[in-house]
Amino acid sequence: MFTEIEFTHKTFLWFLTVVPVLILWYFYKHKKQTADLNISNLKSFESSSKIWVLLKHLLFVLRLVSICLIILALARPQTVNVSSKTKTTRGIDIVMAIDVSASMLAKDLKPSRLEALKKVAGKFISKRPNDRIGLVEYAGESYTRTPITSDKGIVLKSMKEIEYNTIITGGTAIGMGLATAVNRIKDSKAKSKIIILLTDGVNNSGFIDPKTASELAVEYGIKTYTIGLGSNGMALSPVALSNGKFQYARVQVEIDEKLLKEIAKETGGKYFRATDNKKLEEIYEEIDLLEKTEIEEFKYYNYEEKFRPLVLLALGLILIEFLLKNTLLRGFL
């Protein structure tokens, strides 16, 4: 009966310590009031006297139980049913602009820059259940691969399918990639709009200047995090395509860090450099911590009072005691 029950006025439970005192007092009083009768033969009294003594003790038990029930009722037992409801109070829309130029096949990150990015970015997407995310690909030109959506299944599937192809013009058009991402997110109604721009090279293609694209991001209140991907020094990178297969050679890693830092600074974001797989994971973890969706949790408490059955039971026991005392045991007492 008292499973998962809380007492609102626990102070009253201290009165239960009086119960042992009442028991001791009762037996002491009973022993003192009992008279000794010496007769030659007790056989005729044995069975009847035991019944009456038990009934007399029963009156005390009924009263004692009634007192305990009343004390428990005064402590006000109740069950509490707690239900909660979460509400996203600040949604975040994110567009990930990903460089898919041939240099992303370099093997300084394992198994390649592009595959390492897909794995880490996939984990990042999975950890953002309350946000909408879109994907933009760019090389010498750019296009939207996945519009902003809350369906993480679609985004993750699209992310896994990203690969180098010869359909997009070769080169690295950072300005085009950023501008496409801005165009995709600028009309968003979210209170926070984020672009994560990743590249492993320098801006050498496209007809939109990166600074112009960053000015557009500032105009629309879009924060941009930029990531330079590639180790320091030389990296095993594709240099030629022969019979449908890339030929690799060690090439100097060139990333326009100055440009990426300027874009991040102007838009209120931050620049990161990922030189290996571990550093890339740490960068996405940091961005995840920096851009948290605010979630408000509402808790509803449903209280159900349990003192009424105790009071009714106590009154019932008192009534039984009264009836026994004034009917069946009237002459005996």
Rounded to 5 degrees, what are φ and ψ at 212?
Answer: -65, -40
pLDDT at position 2 is 46
Closest-CA residue to 135 (of 177, 191, 190, 81): 177
Q: How many helices (H) and strands (E) does the chain have?
A: 9, 11
CB 192 within 8 A of CB 133: no
Closest-CA residue to 246 (of 98, 103, 99): 103
Closest-CA residue to 96 (of 130, 163, 154, 144): 144
User: Which residues, 6 or more positions from 163, have their beta carbon under 8 angstroms from its beta carbon?
Assistant: 100, 114
Please give the structure tokens belonging to residue 217: 């991001």
pLDDT at position 95 is 97
pLDDT at position 1 is 44
CB 97 within 8 A of CB 177: yes
Per-residue pLDDT of the chain (333 residues; tens, 9 = 90+): 445 788 888 888 888 888 888 888 877 776 666 555 555 555 544 555 566 667 677 777 888 888 888 888 888 888 877 776 655 555 699 999 999 999 999 999 999 999 999 999 999 999 998 899 999 999 999 999 999 999 999 999 999 999 988 777 889 999 999 999 999 999 998 889 999 999 999 999 999 999 999 999 999 999 999 999 999 899 999 988 777 788 999 999 999 999 999 999 999 999 999 999 999 999 999 999 888 766 555 666 777 888 888 888 888 888 887 887 777 666 555
User: What's the start-to-end Cα distance of the chain, in Å?
Assistant: 35
Q: Edge-to-edge strands of the sheet including 294-305?
A: 5-7, 77-90, 294-305
Closest-CA residue to 277 (of 41, 110, 33): 110
**Alpha carbon distance 187, 277 (integer Å):** 34
pTM of the predicted model as reported, rounded to 2 decimal places: 0.64
**Alpha carbon distance 90, 294 (integer Å):** 5
